[in-house]
Amino acid sequence: MDRPVIGPVNRPVIGPALRAAGLVALLSAVPLGAAAHQLVVFASVDCEVVLVEARFSSGAVARLGEVRVLDGSNTLLTTLQLNSDGTLRIPLDSVDHSTGLVIEVDTGSHDNYWIVTPDDIVRNCGS
């Protein structure tokens, strides 16, 4: 299956739970808001760290979850575990972020993702 890559314009990359659905389905599903208690995934970045935050639309933090970090070519870089407060700090120098990053969070029953574009990194690192 062809996998989209992150370009100058935000391009979603398909994660394991989403890959099967294909790009068309993914684009039509963005954001994945259909399920009750939607999982909201957000990642902010500065020059040192990607801070991942995951919580449900009810406001409750996701206490458990697998965090998959992929690069802009959809290559899995690392898999980590979400902290019990629903956050995870990923040192920026621990991953190849030159093509951007896709942060997927999978709690088992819900998953969602956030795309960190190269522009995000440049913009926030420069500020």
Partner 1 sequence: MKRMTAGLSLLACLAAPAMAHYGMIIPSDPMISQTDGRSVSLTMSFSHPFEMAGMTLDRPAAFSVTHEGETSDLLGVLQDAQVMDEQGYTLDYPLDRPGTYIFAMEPQPYWEPAEDAFIVHYTKTYVTAYGDDEGWDTELGLKTEIVPLSKPFGLWEGNVFQGIVKLDGAPVPYAEVEVEFLNDTAGASAPDDLMITQTVKADANGVFTYAAPAAGWWGFAALNTADYTLPQDGTDKAVELGAVIWVRFEAWTGQ
The tokens describing 114, both together, are 């956030």
- Nearest CB to partner 1, comparing residues 12 and 15: 12
CA neighbours closer than 13 Å in the CB half-sphere of residue 63? 1
- Nearest CB to partner 1, comparing residues 7 and 93: 7
- Nearest CB to partner 1, comparing residues 93 and 123: 123
Nearest distance from residue 121's CB to partner 1, in Å? Answer: 12
Q: How far is CA 64 from the centre of its chain?
A: 15
Nearest distance from residue 77's CB to partner 1, in Å? Answer: 19
Strands laid side by side in the 87-91 sheet: 39-45, 49-56, 87-91
- Nearest CB to partner 1, comparing residues 10 and 81: 10
CA separation for the pair 75, 14 (Å, rounded): 10
For residue 114, the cross-strand partners are 103
Nearest distance from residue 70's CB to partner 1, in Å? Answer: 15
Residues interacting with partner 1, by CB under 8 A?
10, 12, 30-33, 38, 40, 42, 44, 57, 59, 112, 114-115, 120, 123
Nearest distance from residue 113's CB to partner 1, in Å? Answer: 9
CA separation for the pair 96, 55 (Å, rounded): 26
